[in-house]
Amino acid sequence: MNKAKTSAEKSVSANSRTLSLLSQLEKINVSSVLGESDNARHVTSKILHLVQSQEKTRKEIISKGSTGIEVILSTLENTRDLQTILNILNILIEVVSVGGGRRASVLVTKGGTQILLQLLLTASKDSPPNEELMMLLHTLLAKIGPKDKKIGMKARINGVLNLSLNLVKQNLQNHRLVLPCLQVLRVYSTNSVNAVSLGKNGVVELLFKIIGPFSKRNTSLMKVALDTLAALLKSKTNARRAVDRGYVQVLLTIYVDWHRHDSRHRYMLIRKGVLQCIKSITNIKLGRKAFLDANGMKILYNTSQECLAVRTLDPLVNTSSLIMRKCFPKNRLPLPTIKSAFHFQLPVIPASGPVAQLYSLPPDVDDVVDESDDNDDAETETEIETEIDDDKDQHFKNDDIETDINKLKPRQELGRPMEELKMYEQFFPELSENFQELDLVSKEPKPFIPDANLSGPIVVPTASEEHTAEANPSTKEVALKECSPSLTEEYNRRPVSLELPKQDNMKNSSLHQQNDQRNMLPSYQCLSQEIVKGLDRISLQNSAKNDQYYGTGCVVKKESKDNLTTLACSKSCDHVSPCGGSLFEGSSVQLGKLCCTGVDSEEEGDSRSSSSGEHVMLQVSDVSPVHDCDLYLEMVKSTKSIPDYSEVAYPDYFGHIPPPFKEPILERPYGVQRTKICQDIERLIYQNDIIDRVVYDLDNLSCSVPEEADVLKFNSKFESGNLRKVIQIRKNEYDLILNSDINSNHYHQWFYFEVSGMKTGISYRFNIINCEKSNSQFNYGMQPLMYSVQEALRSRPCWTRVGTDICYYKNHFSRSSIAAGGQKGKSYYTITFTVTFQHKDDVCYFAYHYPYTYSTLKMHLKKLESMHNPQQIYFRQDVLCETLAGNSCPLVTITAMPESNYYEHICQFRNRPYIFLSARVHPGETNASWVMKGTLEYLMSNSPNAQCLRESYIFKIIPMLNPDGVINGNHRCSLSGEDLNRQWQNPNPDLHPTIYHAKGLLQYLASIKRLPLVYCDYHGHSRKKNVFMYGCSVKETMWHTSVNAASCNLTEDPGYRALPKILSQTAPAFCMGSCSFVVEKSKESTARVVVWREIGVQRSYTMESTLCGCDQGKYKGLSSCD
């Protein structure tokens, strides 16, 4: 107790002493009596002693409400006594030396910078100036300078800018004084005007006298000199001066010397300082040229490779990598033009905008490569080893937020005369339908009839002879009897309902008992559980009992002479040639390379031989009941593409199932981006190792496919494919170039292509080199998707996440400022991934995300229409309009049939509120179509909840707003070369017909006072995880600005948050925290904002689904699937 009391007394005593001394010092300042200088010297000496010995004293002086700093600075400003000045400078140095930058900031706010600069000017007039005073002044200025953003300007105005420089020149051997002077010069140099001024006075040449080869002496001075030089060389004027004097070669020599002698890595900061100087010089074109001429690429490459083994040297490797990437000569893409390889003549050429600019570009614009001095964007290209999501959408730029309250308030505007809107009346027959011709009361829902066409397995004959359907007619009958007694007569009929089979019937079914014993793959995850239970299951399994089994699958015939397998549709073999040629009489549609692949008997490990007459029974589990191979081919025949595609990709034809396992988001190994960049740099250093052979080229139709066994074959001449050119770089490395959106010279992200001719046990590297977005989820665990035909024939028709060493980074290809739209020349980015194939001579498909073609949509809608029960579900499919290429844009209506044709029930039917849904305005966001597919199937299911939704609402759905873009492999635009989701304000009926008429539907509903309750546009997001929504709110927009929402007298129904809240509570993948309801100026012409603002739909949303996976909830750490 006594000890505690003593401690408290000492504390009070110390505090009271500090306050007393400060009070005495204040009185001395007021008094002008002679002899007071001795008192001031004495008082400041005591304060210095307390400050040096007690942290409490330092806190007391700087604490809030204390006048200690003001008193000390006032004394410093007024006194002429040298010792008092030295004491005060030491006091201030002690105060700001600890406590971080906060104390230095306090000193700046009290006017300390100005007082110190004045004192420096006064002290410099002494001849010679006091060394101790100069050292302390510069030490203190170096500490508080970084906290004063205007110190450079203050130094220039006070005329002290060159004082520090002159001190260094006069005292080069006095390292104790030179060190703080250089620190102050570094602070001054943050101001570009100061840097230029100092450069003219010889500061660059002076610093090169200080820095030099390896030496263990004066390393602190060397480090500060390098930091100062790096700051000065950020000025282009100083950088040019350094280049003119040959200092690039000097810096490289110094770096190599320190690298060789610093074997224990004790001076890494000095080595990094040299690299920072090189980095500053190479920000200008002359510096990059001098770096290349001095063999800098090879020097930094070799030294960085030697540093890789030591993790603590990563800052050196990363900085070296940055310099080399910046200095890598910028090249144009190896294309005749960056415009799309395909051209579509527009009916109308816009007067302005990107398309008009594209049409006005000179023919040689792509030959221009910008080599300007503006390389600031390279500064951001450091190695990112930790996962930091590029969440730009969450941090709104204030200048992008709409602040005009008049624009924010929704205002219902039809925009078109009522007479014109009457044309849309034909799309709403449900509002006038009376159902009098239907006997709704007496009709009962039809029972569920499984479709035998969907449960037929895929047969792979291994005998050399080809079997026909008549070879074993009893097989079909046996199979049908196993399924259900009623299936024989219903075999060729489509099921009329998605009604679920009863459990009792399923238990009694012999087919079900057989399936229970099989190793079944997981159910199709995209469908609701209720629908999945009612789907026919097709499994892949070997069978020695049956010689042949027939269904709507594919018959695969194995050739006895080689490893090729020919596929043909078993349902009607007469239209398929044995080698997989034309699938239709008079048609040129082909099944890609299906004739060139098959199950390799050597890899199967089967004891059966190809001449045994036995067959391999391939059964596919859970292939969607709405997928029909034959129907898909029929849909392809009517699909119109600009390249006039004649092939069908196998995954689209056959369909797929989810993988039988959960796919986690990939953890990126440390340093993978750096490794890939080094391999790219090797192309410049070791050019003789580069093959540089074109193996696929859309621009050169005469480009021959290589015949060598070790060269991969590529193809994407099928719907939604968009590979333009492939160049073999090394033996097992290929550069891939994607095609631009038609009538555009950019938008590269979506990819879908075919690869064949591979070998097993070899790692193939693929580089897609003309991506444009500044970041991608490929840096945060996303993987490309691959579909293997060999795996499909082995019972695993899956798109699976594949690839190792995946990363996304800026490369050395660029487009000119003219081609980039008048902006600064833009660099391209590379997606790189490495794949090891499981099967020799397989045919594999790679995609950005699960493909979903326009033909798939048509097939899907056709199947839904044929499968639904018209007694229960009102399903109608209309053609909203034709696209520019002549493809139809489907419009779907789904609701429940009225309970009867009585007046009350008809009225209830007609008065149901509308819900309007749309998707796939951006072709590359294929997940939007998969979400829409799930929505359609759920609404058509027999789930009680789905039935309740149908009875409560009328769903108007446009499942694909941009069919042309989807068909032709575009990433974002339609054939007009424009982003259709930026055309909703003023859509042109000739250029944007789908948007024009979609908006017309909504305007018509508004005109008849039937505004939709909800409008939702489905999208995919490439840079964020989870599922989330964007909505529109006036108040929430105002909250993000300086405008006070309360002062605007705004009253807003919070109902716009209802649907996202419901989804966040019911959907594990949905993230409420990622939702936003802010209206931005840049989004004012999107569907979400226009439907909210002009049509008057309060609950107007964009629903974004991740292309990668989830980082929260039930699916945390898992990749997204279809």
Tokens of 919: 């998707």
Q: Distance (Å, rounded) from C-alpha 38 to C-alpha 56?
A: 26
Give the three-state DSSP class for 553.
Answer: coil
Per-residue DSSP letters for 235-248? SHHHHHHHHHTTHH
Per-residue DSSP letters for 441-500? TTPPPPPP---HHHHPPEEEE-SSSPP-GGG-HHHHHHHHHHH-TTHHHHTTSPPS--PP
Catalytic residue, from 94, 614, 791, 1104: name it: 1104
In whole angstroms, what separates CA 796 from the centre of its chain?
Answer: 29
Residues contacting residue 14 through CB under 8 Å, at least 6 positions apart: 50, 54, 56, 57
Q: Distance (Å, rounded) from C-alpha 70 to C-alpha 88?
A: 12
Q: Distance (Å, rounded) from C-alpha 252 to C-alpha 291?
A: 9
- Is the torsion defined by CA of 484, 489, 493, 498 positive or negative? negative
766: left (phi over 0), alpha (psi -120 to 50) or beta: beta
Tokens of 169: 């020149």
Ordered alpha helix ranges (H), 31-147: 36-53, 55-62, 68-78, 82-97, 101-109, 112-124, 131-144
Q: Distance (Å, rounded) from C-alpha 631 to C-alpha 884?
A: 25
Strands of 826-836's sheet in order across: 693-697, 723-730, 733-738, 763-771, 826-836, 804-815
88: number of CA atoms within 13 Å, CB side?
Answer: 28
Contact 22, 95 (CB under 8 A): no
Tokens of 685: 């250093």
Contact 515, 538 (CB under 8 A): no
H/E stretch holding 567: strand 565-569
- Is the torsion defined by CA of 655, 660, 665, 666 positive or negative? negative
Contact 612, 462 (CB under 8 A): yes
Q: Is 1104 a catalytic residue?
A: yes
In whole angstroms, what separates CA 13 from the centre of its chain?
Answer: 63
Contact 964, 638 (CB under 8 A): no
What is the largest distance, in Å, between two alpha-carbon atoms of the chain?
127
With 0-12 / 13-18 / 19 or more C-beta atoms within 10 angstroms meaning exposed / middle / buried, residue 22 is: buried
The owner of tokens 């099944």 is 591
Ordered alpha helix ranges (H), 201-246: 203-210, 219-232, 236-244
DSSP 40: H
Residues contacting residue 566 through CB under 8 Å, at least 6 positions apart: 556, 557, 559, 578, 579, 580, 594, 595, 598
Q: Distance (Å, rounded) from C-alpha 785 to C-alpha 849?
A: 6
Q: Distance (Å, rounded) from C-alpha 654 to C-alpha 600?
A: 19
DSSP 781: T
Q: Distance (Å, rounded) from C-alpha 58 to C-alpha 64?
A: 12
The owner of tokens 């890899």 is 603
Angle 25-30-35 from CA coordinates, rounded to 5°: 70
Q: Distance (Å, rounded) from C-alpha 1104 to C-alpha 1020?
A: 5
339, 377, 432: which is closest to 818 by C-alpha?
339
Catalytic residue ranges: 1104
